[in-house]
Amino acid sequence: MAPQYKLTYFDVPGMAETCRYLFSYGGIEFEDVRIKQENWPQVKDKMPFGTVPTLEHNGKVVDQSLAIARYLAKKVKLVGDNEWENLEIDATVDTINDIRQKIIAVFLEKDDAKKKALIEAVKKDTFGFYLPRLEAEVQKNKGYLVLGRLTWADFYFTTLSRVFDVVSGEDVLASYPNLKGVREKVNALPSIKKWNEIRPKTSH
Amino acid sequence: MAPAYKLTYFDGRGVAEAARFLFKYGEVEFEDVRVKRDDWPQLKEKTPFGQLPVLEHNGKQIGQSISICRYLAKVVKLTGNDDWENLEIDATVDTINDLRQKISAAHWEQDAEKKKKLRETLLNETIPYYLQRLEAQAQKNKGYLVLGHLTWADMYFTSGGTGFDQFVGSNTFDKYPTLKALREKVEALPAIKKWMEARPKTEF
C-alpha cells in the first residue's frame, strides 16, 4: 500500500528537511518526492501557490513548510501540553525562520562584492544577534530550545543550522556550545541518525 | 483589575492589527500599548528578540505576530476542528504573509528606480498571482478563505486590508469580488466595525 503522505520538494534538505525529520522520528511512512530543477516549471503550476514543499494526504494538497511541520509535530507528539506552550514553540520557530530569511539573501546575491558584505552583515547582525539569545534559551531549558524538552523547534534549528557554515565559511556553532548540543542531540536520536544515513546525498 | 493580556506594538496597525481584531472579536480585554518612536530604542533591549509586537500574559512575554494570532484564535475559537483543518488555516495565513512581505518590500524600498520596478512586478504579476488563487479558494469555501466558515485566516486577511488599500490601491479588490465580499463581511461584524471606528487613525 502506498504511504499515506507524499512530501514534494527539491532534491535538497532546505525547507523540507524538518518535515522529513519529523516523519522519520515518528516512524511515519512518506513518499519523499524530489523534483529535478529542469522539471520545476511544469510542477510549479500544479502547486497551490507555485511553491514547495507541499504535502499530499487523502487527496488534498497543502503548502507552506512550517505549517506542514507543525501538523506533523502534533502527529509525532513534539508539541506543547497547552496553547501557551505551543505559542512558545511557534515563536521560537518563527525566530529561527527570521534567521533563515536573512541568510537566504546571501544565497540570492549574485554580485561578489555585495555577497561578501552581506556575509559580514549576517555574521555580525544575524548570527551575532540571534545566536547568543538562543544560546541563553537553551541554557534555561535543560539543553533544548523550549519547554525544557525536545520539541519540533529543536528539529527546525538543527536542519537550518546545516547552512550556517555554508553561508559564513566558519564553524558558526563553535562559539555556542548549548546550541551545538541541541544539534548533536537531535542528530543522535536513533530515527534521525538512521534518516541521515539513508537519505539521498546532497551538497549540504 | 488589569486585563489578562497586554499587547505592545508601535502606534499603527502593521502586523499587530490581526491580533487586535482577534481580541475584539472574542471580546477579550487587552491593554493596547503603543510605543512611540523615541521610546523604542530603550524598549527594544527589553523585548525577547528586539521586535514588536510582544504579547504579555501571566508575567511571560512572547514575540512573533502570526504565532500570537494562532494562540489568540484558539482562545476566541476561530480555529479548525482537527489538526488537518488547522494545517489548512496555517498554510493560508502563511501564504497571505508571503504576499504581505512582498508588498512591504516594495513599499519600504528606498532606491527610487528599484522601487518603481518592484512596484510594477507587484501590481502586474505578484498581486494577481496570489489574489486570483485566493479568490478561487474563497469561491470553493462559501466566501470564506478556508473550511467554508469564518476562521482566523479571514481575520488575518481582513485586518491587512486598510494597509493594502493604502500601499497598493483601493480598487484592486474590484477584480476579486469574493475576496472583496469577504472583507466587507468581516468588517461588518459588530465587534470589528466598532473597533475600526474607534481605533486610532494611524499612518500605517
Question: Which pLDDT belongs to residue B26?
Answer: 98
Average pLDDT over residues A19-43: 97
What is the C-alpha separation between A111 and A62, in angstroms, rounded? 35
Give per-residue pLDDT as tens, A95-145.
999 999 999 989 889 999 999 999 999 999 999 999 999 999 999 999 999
Alpha helices in chain B (DSSP H): 17-25, 40-46, 65-75, 83-108, 112-121, 127-139, 152-159, 161-167, 177-188, 190-198
Q: Is the pLDDT of residue A28 over 90?
A: yes
Same structural domain for residues A124 and A152? yes
Query: In angstroms, rounded to a whole number, what is the distance separating the alpha carbons of residues B97 and A69?
Result: 17
Mean of pLDDT values over B93-115? 94
Cell numbers describing residue B128: 494577481
C-beta atoms of B87 and A83 within 8 A: no
Residue B165 burial (10 A CB sphere; 0-12, 13-18, 19+): middle
Same domain? For B89 and B180 the reply is yes
Same domain, B95 and B129: yes
Cell digits for A91?
515563536
Host domain of residue B13 = 5-77+191-198
Give yes or no for residue B1 having a pLDDT over 90.
no
Please count the other Cβ atoms lying within 10 Å of the Cβ belonging to residue A145: 29
Asked if the Cβ–Cβ distance from B91 to A86 is below 8 Å, we say no
Does the structure show a pLDDT above 90 at A202?
no
CB within 8 Å: B71 and A84 = yes
Same domain, A89 and A184: yes
Count the neighbouring beta carbons within 10 Å of the beta carbon of residue A187: 14
Residue A137: the pLDDT is 98
Whether A173 and A160 map to the same domain: the answer is: yes
CB distance B71–A86 less than 8 Å? yes
Among residues of chain A, what percentage have pLDDT more than 90?
93
C-alpha torsion A189→A25→B81→B132, nearest 10 = 110
Q: Using beta carbons and an 8 Å cutoff, which residues of B are at the interface with A?
A: 48-50, 55, 57-58, 60, 62-64, 66-68, 70-71, 74-75, 83-84, 86-88, 90-91, 93-95, 98, 129-130, 133
Could A129 and B91 be called an inter-chain contact, meaning their C-beta atoms sit closer than 8 Å?
Answer: no
Distance from CA of B197 to the nearest CA of A (A): 30
The pLDDT of A27-47, averaged and rounded, is 96
Cβ-Cβ contacts under 8 Å for A29 (sequence gap 6 or more): A3, A4, A5, A23
Other CB atoms closer than 10 Å to residue A141's CB: what's the count?
A: 20
Same-domain pairing of A17 and A97: no
User: Domain for residue B203, yes or no?
Assistant: no
In this structure, is residue A43 part of a structural domain? yes
- Give the CA distances from residue A127 to residues A76, A138, B16, in Å, rounded to whole numbers and listed in that order: 30, 16, 26
In a domain, A203, yes or no: no
Pairs of CB atoms within 8 A across A/B: 83
Q: Are residues A95 and A35 in the same domain?
A: no
The length of chain A in residues reads 204
d(CA B204, CA B46): 24
Tell whether the model's pLDDT for residue B32 goes beyond 80.
yes
Residue A199 reports pLDDT greater than 80: yes
Does B94 share its domain with B180?
Answer: yes
Question: Which residues form the domain of A37?
Answer: 5-76+190-198
How many separate domains does chain B show?
A: 2
Q: Which CATH number is B33's domain given? A: 3.40.30.10
Residue A46 has a pLDDT of 94
What is residue B169's predicted lDDT score, i.e. its pLDDT? 86
Closest residue, chain B, to A83 (C-alpha)? B71
What pLDDT is recorded for position B2?
87
pTM of the complete model: 0.96
Assigned C-alpha cell, A62? 497543502
Number of domains making up chain A: 2
Residue of A nearest to B48 (CA): A133
- The answer to whether the Cβ–Cβ distance between A71 and B62 falls below 8 Å is no
CB contact under 8 A, B83 and A75: yes
Rg of chain A (C-alpha set): 17
Whether residue B45 is found in the same domain as residue B114: no
Instruction: Specify whether A90 is located in the same domain as A182.
Output: yes
CA distance B98 to chain A (A): 10
Amino acid, res. B100 = R
CATH number at residue B171: 1.20.1050.10
Chain A residue with the nearest C-alpha to that of B74: A83
Sequence-distant (6+) residues with CB within 8 A of A59 are none
Note whether residue A204 is domain-resident.
no
Question: Are A128 and A170 members of one domain?
Answer: yes
Q: Are B81 and B74 in contact (CB under 8 A)?
A: no
Reported as a single tens digit per residue, the pLDDT across B152-161 is 999 999 999 9
What is the layout of strands, in order, in the sheet containing A60-63?
A: A30-35, A5-10, A54-57, A60-63
Percent of chain B with pLDDT over 90: 94
Residues B20 and B68 in one domain: yes
Q: How close is the nearest chain A Cα to the Cα of B192, in Å?
A: 24
CATH number of residue A51's parent domain: 3.40.30.10
Residues of A in contact with B75 (CB under 8 A): 83
Q: How many residues belong to chain B?
A: 204
A186 against B163, higher pLDDT: A186
> How high is the pLDDT of residue A1?
75
Burial of A200 (0-12, 13-18, 19+ CB in 10 A): exposed
Residues of A contacting chain B (CB within 8 angstroms):
48-51, 55, 57-58, 60, 62-64, 66-68, 70-71, 74-75, 83-84, 86-88, 90-91, 93-95, 98, 129-130, 133
Residue A203 predicted with pLDDT over 80: no
Contacts of B85 (CB under 8 A, 6+ apart): B79, B146, B147
Distance from CA of B203 to the nearest CA of A (A): 25
Residues B87 and B179 in one domain: yes
- Here the ipTM equals 0.96
Mutate to test the interface with A, among B22, B90, B104 (most CBs of A within 10 A): B90
| B89 and B44 within one domain | no
DSSP annotation of B122 reads I
Tens of pLDDT, residue by residue over A69-89, are: 999 999 999 999 999 999 999
> Is position B204 within any domain?
no
Please say whether the beta carbons of B50 and B44 come within 8 A: yes
Quote the pLDDT of residue B7: 98
Cell of A15: 525547507
CA angle A115, A119, A121 (to 5 degrees): 115
| A180/A194 same-domain check | no
In a domain, residue A88? The reply is yes
Which CATH number is A175's domain given? 1.20.1050.10
- Does residue B71 share a domain with residue B106? no
What is the amino acid identity at position A127? Answer: F
Distance CA B156, CA B174 (A): 20
Confidence category of residue A31, pLDDT binned at 50, 70, 90: very high
Largest CA distance in chain A: 53
